[in-house]
Amino acid sequence: MPKSHGNGEFFTSQFSKLGKNVIFEKGVLVFHPKNIEIGDDVYVGHYAILKGYHNSKMTIGNGTWIGQQCFFHSAGSLMIGCNVGIGPGVKILTSSHSIDEPDKPILHSTINCAPVVIGDGCDIGVGSIILPGVHIGQGVQIGAGSVVVSDVGDYAIAAGTPAMVIRSRK
């Protein structure tokens, strides 16, 4: 019988670190809060899910705003910088199943983990998806609905599926 990961209910005392003036709106679920560090002045919108992981870390920097219905999964570790705006419905994934084991159903194949890093001062548009192993530089704008599959350098504007750099902000 599979083991439950719990119901996502949490106490603020359970976090590895929890800064001042952090707001959790109604319906936020948090898993493995002992592996999550949240800085000061962070907002987490309604029905967001922070899916910490038993052997990795999620860090959310000071002044970050997380929109409603976001889903963050940190099996490979997740580092979000300071003053990052993350639009509603954004998904950040740090693990995926291997597709190189054809004799197994993909669901039962090896899980590959890779960290995601989002630099300071970024804005991640509504409904975007960031895939495992992606590093997003400082001051980057990701357009709404984008699927980010590769690294994006500092101050770039990237959009699309897959996300491509359109221009630089500098």
Domains of the chain, residue spans = 22-98+108-168
Residue 153: per-residue pLDDT: 98
Q: According to the model, what pLDDT value does residue 78 have?
A: 98
The pLDDT assigned to 54 comes to 87
Query: Tens digit of pLDDT per residue, the chain (170 long)?
Result: 677 888 999 999 999 999 999 999 999 999 999 999 999 999 999 999 999 998 999 999 999 999 999 999 999 999 999 999 999 999 999 999 999 999 999 999 999 999 999 999 999 999 999 999 999 999 999 999 999 999 999 999 999 999 999 999 99
User: What separation in angstroms does the CA of 37 have from each of 12, 42, 127?
Assistant: 11, 11, 24
Q: Which CATH class is domain 22-98+108-168?
A: mainly beta
Q: Closest Cα to residue 124, out of 103, 105, 141, 148?
A: 141
Q: Where are the alpha helices (DSSP H) in the chain?
A: none
Q: What order do you get walking across the sheet with 164-168 strand by strand?
A: 23-24, 43-44, 65-66, 85-86, 123-124, 141-142, 156-159, 164-168
* Confidence (pTM): 0.96
Residue 75: what pLDDT?
A: 96
